[in-house]
Amino acid sequence: MYYVIQVSSGMEDKVEEQITVMVEKELYGRCFHPVRQVKKKIRGEWKELHEKLLPGYVFVTSEDIRELYLKLRHIPAFTKMLGKDEEQFVPLPEHEVEWLERLTGSEGRETEVQISQVSISEEDAVTILSGPLKNMEGCVKKIDLHRRIAKVEVDFMNRKTVIHLGIEIVGKKREQT
C-alpha cells in the first residue's frame, strides 16, 4: 500500500536518505518522490532538466504502516503522514496509485516521469504520440507549446491537483503555400 509523507519543500531527497539510513528495510518497500523531465530554453538553447513532480511529498509503500510511522517520527526532517484518520492510516486510493504508477512506469524502480512526444497538425490539433500522457487525454487541461508543458488535472489526496508534465514536439505539419 502507498502512503504519503508531507515534508518541507526541498527536503524530499534528505528525507528519503534519512529513511534508508534510519528505518529497517523490512518495514517499507519503495520510498521515493517522483521527478519529471522537462525541457526549458536557457540562453536560446533547449536543455533537459529534472524537477520535482509533487514538491513537499515523499511516497512510501508498506504493509506495516503503524510500525513504520513509529520509526518515521524519529527522522528530523519528517513533517507528517497524510491520510491519518484518528488512529488509522489511510493509504493512497487505488485510482491515485494507478495514475502515479502510470506516470512513473513504476513496475520497475523508476520514479522519473519521461517527456511525452506530441505532434501538431495544420489545424493546431495536438496528438500525443508516446510517453506518460498517452491515453490520459481526458485529464489534460492545457498544452503550453511555447513552454513545452502539459497541464494535467489529477486527484491527489482527495482533491483536484494540476501537475505539469514535459512534452516534446516531434512533428509539426505546416500548410503549403
**CATH (domain of 164):** 3.30.70.940
pLDDT tens digits, one per residue of 91-140: 999 988 888 888 887 554 568 888 988 888 877 778 888 888 887 777 88
Q: Is residue 108 part of a domain?
A: yes
Domain count, the chain: 1
Domain limits for position 7? 2-172
Q: Is residue 66 part of a domain?
A: yes
Residue 106: the pLDDT is 59
Q: Is residue 34 part of a domain?
A: yes
Task: Give yes or no for a contact between 148 and 169, defined as CB atoms under 8 angstroms apart.
Answer: yes
pTM above 0.75, yes or no: yes
Residue 110: the pLDDT is 61
CB burial class (10 A; 0-12, 13-18, 19+) of residue 97?
A: middle
Q: Is residue 6 part of a domain?
A: yes
Q: Is residue 47 part of a domain?
A: yes
Q: Is residue 103 part of a domain?
A: yes
Site of grid cell 482527495: 158
Q: Is residue 177 part of a domain?
A: no
